[in-house]
Structure 1
């Protein structure tokens, strides 16, 4: 992620516990899991073929996975 925005959200305690358990099962931090879940619901931004690296045949990068770091 190039830029980040810090935000605060109030969520019910029970939902936070479920989210924390999910992130732990998936071996992700809460932040990485939130990004992963939001991208799953909202989708990733469309890639413009004229943007740098915007080859439309290249799939978007995976985010929030424990093995997403470059080799």
Structure 2
């Protein structure tokens, strides 16, 4: 990343808990897990793999 921006993100408690478990199992921080998933989705959309 060339530049980082800080944001405040509100998540439903169950989604936060699920992401935290997924992050821990992948040995990533919660922030890194969210970034990883967003980047993967962006790549899928760019490749035309994501449905609208």
Q: What TM bracket, shorter-length normalisation?
A: 0.7 to 0.9
**Cα deviations across residues 7-50 of structure 1 (Å, max 9, x unaligned)?**
01111001000000000000001111111100111118x8xxxx
Q: CA RMSD in A?
A: 1.7
Query: Which protein is richer in helix relative to its size?
Result: 2
Higher relative CO (Cα under 8 Å, sequence separation at least 6) belongs to: 1
User: Where does the alignment leave 5 or more consecutive residues of structure 1 unmatched?
Assistant: 47-71
Corresponding residue for residue 18 of structure 1: 18
TM-score (norm 1): 0.57
The 10-residue stretch of structure 1 (6-15 or 35-44) with the greater mean CA deviation from structure 2: 35-44
Corresponding residue for residue 29 of structure 1: 29
TM-score (norm 2): 0.76
1:5 aligns with 2:5: yes
Q: Rg: which structure is higher?
A: 1
Report the Cα distance in structure 2 between the residues aligned to 1:9 and 1:16, rounded to whole angstroms: 10
How many residue pairs are counted as aligned between the two chains? 45
User: Where does the alignment leave 5 or more consecutive residues of structure 2 unmatched?
Assistant: 47-52
